[in-house]
Amino acid sequence: MPFCMAHRGFSGIAPENTMIAFEKVLELDNVHSIELDVQLSREGIPVIIHDFSLERTTNGFGLVRDKTYHELRELDAGSWFSEQYAGEKIPSLEEVLELLRNKECLVNIELKTAGGLYKGYEHTIIDLVKKYGMENKVCLTSFDHKVIKNIKDIETEIRTGLIIEGNPVLLREQLLDCGASILSINVHFLTFELVERLKKDQFDIFTWTVNDAATMEEVIGISEDIYICTNFPDRYMETVTKMNKLAGNPINL
């Protein structure tokens, strides 16, 4: 069965990483996972935003880490996408976990950091996940190997994953060294051979960002066990439905 992961919420039709983008995912059937990005405000409150700087997705300027939570909440995180969403706020991680805690979907929390940017980052995120009893409903992923290793030293129950853009030598060994059970990989580097190697060791695979039907079909052709991370989860459902009709052995959503 192929799996659908909504990238930064339903970011194809709503401003990414906002409450409205997450709420619109919940209106759909058969979305198995939601991906989002977490950073910390100046006083250490986890907030949902992708870029280290504010300019692309808000009307603010400067770095996320330099702003207080109150200052971040004053920003407009919707107008850049459409005036329809003017006034959308940067959510806190706590708000999103509250929204999703009783939903039947995996929450893929990407930890946006590099080079020790946020002190105590791992403890802060883990404590919040545990507060909502979501240790088995989230996974924590990052490009930063050290962060993933730190998480496994703190809390072994929460699943972790490395995000990779490429196909480096000793990839399996890097995953094992970090204690990661998930590979999150750019779709351009996804191959049948890579998937077969990793499946032998029971690694789960996420691939991003897959927005067109043809690429979705290619990924499903490689393996039906891959999480397809997309801005358009509705296109995923349309694609699988079409493949269902054409296949002699239907793919179940």
How many separate domains does the chain show?
Answer: 1
CATH number at residue 130: 3.20.20.190
Q: Please write the tens of the pLDDT for every residue from 100-138.
A: 999 999 999 999 998 888 888 999 999 999 999 999 999
Structural domain contains residue 183: yes
| Owning domain of residue 220 | 3-51+96-246
The contacts of residue 87 (CB under 8 Å, 6+ apart) are: 76, 78, 79
Average pLDDT estimate for 161-188: 96
pLDDT for res 251: 58
Q: What's the pLDDT band for 248 if we cut at 50, 70, 90?
A: low
Judge whether 201 and 223 are in contact, CB under 8 Å: no
- Burial pattern 77-93, b for ≥16 Cβ within 10 A else e, equals bbbbbeeebeebbbbbb
Catalytic residues: 7, 50
Q: Which residue has the higher pLDDT, 120 or 234?
A: 234
**Average pLDDT, rounded, for the chain:** 95
In a domain, 35, yes or no: yes
**38's tokens:** 């977490």
In a domain, 195, yes or no: yes
Strand partners, 24: none
Helix (H, G, I), strand (E, B) or coil at 242: helix
Residue 154 domain flag = yes
Domain-located, residue 74: no
70: in domain: no
In a domain, residue 225? The reply is: yes
Reply yes or no on whether the pLDDT at 1 is more than 70.
Answer: no
Instruction: Report the percent of the chain where pLDDT is more than 90.
Output: 90
Tell me, rounded to whole angstroms, the distance of Cα 101 from its chain centroid: 16
Chain position carrying tokens 């250490």:
44
Question: Which are the contacts of 108, defined by CB distance < 8 A and separation ≥ 6?
Answer: 5, 33, 34, 35, 36, 138, 139, 141, 161, 184, 206, 229
Q: Output the pTM of the full model.
A: 0.95
**Assigned domain for 85 exists:** no
Is 218 in contact with 195 (CB distance < 8 Å)?
no
pLDDT per residue over 11-70, tens digit each?
A: 999 999 999 999 999 999 889 999 999 999 999 999 999 999 999 999 999 999 999 999
Structure tokens, 115: 């080079």
